[in-house]
Amino acid sequence: MTDIVVLGSANMDLVVRQPRLPEPGETMFGSSFATVAGGKGLNQAVAAARAGASVAFLGALGGDEFGATLRATLEADGIDTAGIALVERPTGTAHISVLDGGENAIVVVPDANGVRLPLDDVQRAAIRAARYLAVQFERPLELVAEAVAFARSVGVTTVVTPAPVLELPEGFLEQVDVLVPNAAEARALAGVDDEADAARALSRRAGTVVVTRGARGALVARGGELVTEVPAHPVTPVDTTGAGDTFTGVLVARLALGDTEPAALRAASVAAALATTRPGASPSMPTWSEVAPLLG
């Protein structure tokens, strides 16, 4: 049995470091450029694998150099890539501006990730054989909804990162066992201005809601009530790209490996913080040997 199946996006991140975002019509110099494996799905798969879980990835790639590089990146972390579809579109890209303060701004061009494909027999078999299914919204929502419904029908725990925020089909949230939005996503999904109120509201529909808040830690709600607050691990950030995906990937990995919820949340918080101290998305994600000594 596989611990986790991740159905999601794989992008080549095209990363520019720059002092600030340019004004409309302005040209400015950046200080560096890099190509880095990314995409919310790939990021979560890598984070989970480095936290010790066995992982399979269900994605879509083009038959180009970026696609070959992304597949090799996944396989380098021991991730099963048999469920990746090869499509007649370029591999997806993300165009990332990393500001000197560590924050980022991202434009995603889905390409292969946006191709509308139903679940095939290989992907259904992978989900059936897993303990957890993790999804995000950088693949077509119809596919995501199909995967979540199928996972629930075969007793697989569903974990959803609602990014980017979309209008959801009726009954979708009720099929989510663990919902992991950031604060802005939680407020948008719930239609309220306060993240704690959003967590409460969303947890009346989904099972457990974990709202990530960067340096302010995370809120956990269940059954319409806040149940705990997870403190952030203090660090000086260099690049926050991929921190949220690190949190989710490590959280699911540690739950799948049998950790208690408080222990898994603490591990996810430490791992996400460590990821912000290094540039890039997937390259920044720590191994379990780096996280474990900091858990106390």
Mark the binding-site residues for K(+), compressed into ranges: 239, 241, 275, 278, 280, 284
User: What tokens were used for 189?
Assistant: 């999904």
Q: Which residue positions form the known binding site for substrate?
A: 11-13, 39-43, 138, 245
Known binding residues are 11-13, 39-43, 138, 182, 212-217, 239, 241, 244-245, 275, 278, 280, 284
Token pair belonging to 208: 């457990």
What residues contact 121, with CB distance under 8 A and at least 6 apart? none
The owner of tokens 């560096």 is: 32
Q: How far from 227 is each of 12, 262, 266, CA to CA, in Å?
A: 38, 11, 15
Contact between residue 231 and residue 217 where contact means Cβ atoms under 8 Å apart: yes
Helix (H), strand (E) at residue 250 = helix 243-256
Residues belonging to the binding site for ATP are 182, 212-217, 244-245
Cβ contact 182:163 at 8 Å: yes
129: its two tokens: 């054989």
Report which secondary-structure segment, H or E, holds 46.
Answer: helix 40-50
Catalytic residue among 77, 80, 111, 245: 245
- Judge whether 259 counts as a catalytic residue: no
Give CA–CA dist 43/280, Å, rounded.
Answer: 10
* Residues assigned a catalytic role: 245
